[in-house]
Amino acid sequence: MQNNLYFNSLYKKYQKAEKSSLIICNPEEGILSDIIPTAIARPEEFKTLAMQDYSNLPKADSEILKKTTITLQKMHAGLGSSVKRDQHLKENSKRSQLGSKGTDLFIPTSEGSISIAEAQILQAKQTANKRIYKKVNLQEFVNIETQEAVSLLWEGTNHIENCEGFERKDPIFQEMFKTISQDGELTVQRLAPAGHGYFGYKALLECFEGTVEDEIIAIGNGEDLNSSPDDKIFSWMAKSEIPLCMITTTKTAQDKKGGHISIVKGEGGSDHITIVEKAQAEASDQLAYFEKLGLRAGDKMSYFNTNIVLINTKALRALIKESMSDVDLESFMEIITPDVIQNTKTQDGKKYIQLEGALGSVMLNFDKYIRINYNKQAVHFLNLDESERSNFFCPIKTMDDFKKIFINEKRFDQENFRIKSL
């Protein structure tokens, strides 16, 4: 049901969308705009971010963590076709059908090769065995293309039985949806998932409805062994009662194509935050400017979104209860619907538009509503500097990324099931 609610919300937003260019503020060229990247923001604008540096986090509070349940959610609901791994999969498994990147990429251990996804299970189990949390849950996001490969990870294993305080929650299934045909109509001729925005939409909807337990959910990439936050981050979230957190990292040259965290100036001081993407900069003929922001002499830091999101369900439910008693369910769904990404694909010589939404957009649209209507902040940002980023962010976008980390640099720590920092 939630899948359908999400897609219907996305489709309604697509139908209402007005085609307009997004212009980034560029004072050097005399281009004035209300969209201000952090690289050129003034100090008073910068405060809008609610930014916390990881390096300044206090030590983990053991008493807080003993009362805290964490749920590690890993995204395995896509094939990740940019990683060409067919031969690697055949050499390391009995499967020939692709699953997710995490289930199909195999790494060496003292017990033989295992997939990254299985290493994430062992990593979560190791966290539970430390006995510092009330409970540790692991939950995967899957779709029809990946669910079998994920299910095989658990068959014939004793991961749960031999570990007190560790539980596997039922996977969250993402359905495939109709796309938009060349004549502008919904069609079943091509079906596609509607982006990872669904996972944020589902979590926020359950908090609004009050159907979720008290826990801190951490959503991370399924192929990234370092995408789980550490004890300090979970402790900070719980102790400071942070409703939502997006983890960023200081932009470097390798991130020039990634989205910019930017401040949107609103009337009467009602500023909010957005992510400006490469495609938007291209559409407004600002790509070169977009790519060099934060890398020029004199620029302030620019922040790159890692796609790691934390949700403190207790704090979020309290915020919703205190501030949104006048908002009904239908209105809430409209508020949290992500901005629509129109992803054009070609199949059998015909073009189709896949409607997609991003996880970060769900969080920031909710935060925008809270800021404008109640003068409160829902989303807090936690930034990793360049020396810290690989402790939490080692995405695999291509097979070369995989080979670099696990074969050439041999950065895999077999004892702790993590990638060693540079």
SS3 for 2-43 is HHHHHHHHHHHHHHHCCCCCCCCCEHHHCECCCEEEHHHCCH
In a domain, 160, yes or no: yes
Write out the two tokens for 25.
Answer: 């503020």
In a domain, 99, yes or no: yes
Residue 215 DSSP symbol? -
Summarize the chain as % helix, strand, coil (round to 5).
35, 25, 40
Which residue's structure tokens are 């002499």? 297
The domain total for the chain is 1
In a domain, 152, yes or no: yes
In a domain, 261, yes or no: no
In a domain, 30, yes or no: no
Distances from the Cα of 196 to the Cα of 1, 26, 118, 160, angstroms: 17, 31, 21, 27
In a domain, 24, yes or no: no
Note the residue count of the chain.
422
3-class SS of residue 81: coil
DSSP result, 222-278: TT-TT-S--HHHHHHHHHTT-SEEEEEEE--GGGTTSPEEEEE--GGG--EEEEE-H
CA angle 368, 271, 365 (to 5 degrees): 15
How many other CB atoms are there within 10 angstroms of residue 60's CB atom?
18
pTM: 0.94
* Contacting residues for 16 by C-beta, under 8 A, at least 6 apart: none
Write out the two tokens for 381.
Answer: 């940002």
What range defines the domain where residue 313 resides?
2-19+52-255+309-412
In a domain, 272, yes or no: no
> Which helix (DSSP H) or strand (DSSP E) does residue 208 occupy?
helix 197-209
In a domain, 39, yes or no: no
Tens digit of each residue's pLDDT, the chain (422 residues):
899 999 999 999 999 876 667 899 999 999 999 999 999 999 888 888 889 999 999 999 999 999 999 999 999 999 998 899 999 999 999 999 999 999 999 998 887 899 999 999 999 999 999 999 999 999 999 999 999 999 999 986 666 666 789 999 999 999 999 999 999 999 999 999 999 999 999 999 999 999 999 999 999 999 999 999 999 999 999 999 999 999 999 998 888 888 889 999 987 668 999 998 888 888 889 999 999 999 999 999 999 899 999 999 999 999 999 999 999 999 999 999 999 988 889 999 999 999 999 999 999 999 999 999 999 999 999 999 999 999 999 999 999 999 999 999 999 998 888 999 87
Q: State the CATH number of the domain containing residue 85.
A: 3.90.550.10
